Structure 1
Amino acid sequence: MPRNGTRNSYQEAARELLRTSVLDAMRELLIERDWSKITLGDIAARTGVSRQTLYNEFGSRNGLSQAYALRLADDLVDHVDAAITGNVGDVRAAFREGVANFFVDAAADPLVRSLLAGEVKLDLLRLITLDAGPLLDHATERLSSAFQHSWVAATPAESTVIAHALVRIALSYIPTPPGPGRDAPEELSILLSPYVEAILAARVRN
């Protein structure tokens, strides 16, 4: 008989596999057609599970789209984290590269493309505006850890400030992409870098 911890780990791994499979299926369908034309039944059939399984895991169609949106937040964190690792000592380059790579991926994401195409989709728009709390909290927590456990070595309080600002600003660009001639990643790096540079300078003085 497996120990309870082993059983719980297995259940959690199975649940994560299910969520990944469902969100991958949702992405495939979004490439084929607009979000407004996709039902939970479509996603269940593409994944090979029942609609009840989707309801049990995500609660509703909105819960499913929110889970997908969390992937976008994770994508932002992953890009910035990788840029921090790849640009040791160069705060501006880290911000510029991380944000630029996120914008490229976001622009190509089928859910974002669905949001920006055709008539306004209030359910998707709310995910990154009025109902963006879960995305902001999730991405801020992850990105704050990246600033703490890297060459930046910011305190938890400092990391939370910069992480929250970056996440909030970056996500705001999704429904309103930068206009022609605007280099948003460069502008954000100019805006946010002095805060981190001040942290680094203070550490040297001390």
Structure 2
Amino acid sequence: MNTEGRRRHAERVREGMREAILDAVEALVRDRGWQETRMADVADAAEVSRQTVYQLFGSREELAQQYVLREADRFLGTVESAVAVHADDPYAAVEAALDAFLTGAADNLMVKAILSGDDLLPLVTTQGLPVIEMARERLIAVIGVHWPFLDAGDVRLFAETVARLAISHATVATGDAAHDISRVLRPFITQVFDGSQR
């Protein structure tokens, strides 16, 4: 195996260990919650050394952040699919995307842990910038695929606003949030699409 082949192999092994560790976090959060989970517990569940967990994630806080980001990434995949199905109607696309995100959140183990008072909550609220940034960039990308003619500034503002609203409603669910948020955003969507046609 040449140097490039060894490097790629090492990256695959490293990524496999990261996923195994995040899977272990998921199982431990389900069984006991994040507050009661120690790094040694994660290492044991992933069948790696505690040193390996620290080498790959740095700290308990960073491990929690990466777990939250992975779960958010899964939600965003369903959002992208919902937008694609309704790409011919931006209002329906927004409502379907919000519904997909909020429905996924309601059924998600991580969100349930957050709502039960686990100490993951700051990672989507006061320390939630990485999650918001990831959601914003994914939304910008999916909007660009389906509506490339829209103004970049409008798209960025919309994506940031929707990401923040969706995350807020996911952590404190009330009523038909997808419909309510879509209704509030409708005038902006109309303005952006009308402006793009000039």
* 2:151–2:196 CA contact under 8 A, matched in 1: no
* 2:91–2:182 CA contact under 8 A, matched in 1: yes
- What does residue range 12-161 of structure 1 map to in structure 2 within 5 Å? 12-117=11-116, 120-121=117-118, 123-151=119-147, 153-161=149-157
* 1:148–1:155 CA contact under 8 A, matched in 2: no
Deviation at 1:44, TM superposition (A): 1.2
Provide the C-alpha distance between the structure 2 equivalents of 1:166 and 1:203, rounded to a whole number of angstroms. Answer: 20
The letter for the 1-side match of 2:177 is: A
Provide the C-alpha distance between the structure 2 equivalents of 1:155 and 1:17, rounded to a whole number of angstroms. Answer: 39
Deviation at 1:151, TM superposition (A): 3.4
Indicate the percent of aligned positions where both proteins have the same amino acid.
Answer: 31
* 2:71–2:110 CA contact under 8 A, matched in 1: no
Matched, 1:197 2:196: no
Which deviates further from its counterpart, 196-205 or 134-143?
A: 196-205
Aligned to 1:188: 181
| Unaligned runs of at least 5 residues, structure 2 | none
* 2:25–2:42 CA contact under 8 A, matched in 1: yes
* 1:25–1:46 CA contact under 8 A, matched in 2: yes
* 2:68–2:123 CA contact under 8 A, matched in 1: yes
Aligned to 2:168: 172
RMSD: 2.1
Provide the C-alpha distance between the structure 1 equivalents of 2:114 and 2:189, rounded to a whole number of angstroms. Answer: 33
Secondary structure of 1:173's aligned partner: helix
Aligned length: 198
Change (3 A) 1:158 1:76: farther
| Unaligned runs of at least 5 residues, structure 1 | none
Provide the C-alpha distance between the structure 2 equivalents of 1:34 and 1:113, rounded to a whole number of angstroms. Answer: 10
What TM-score do the two structures reach when normalised by structure 1? 0.85
* 2:75–2:104 CA contact under 8 A, matched in 1: no
What TM-score do the two structures reach when normalised by structure 2? 0.88
Deviation at 1:152, TM superposition (A): 5.5
Provide the C-alpha distance between the structure 1 equivalents of 2:182 and 2:75, rounded to a whole number of angstroms. Answer: 15
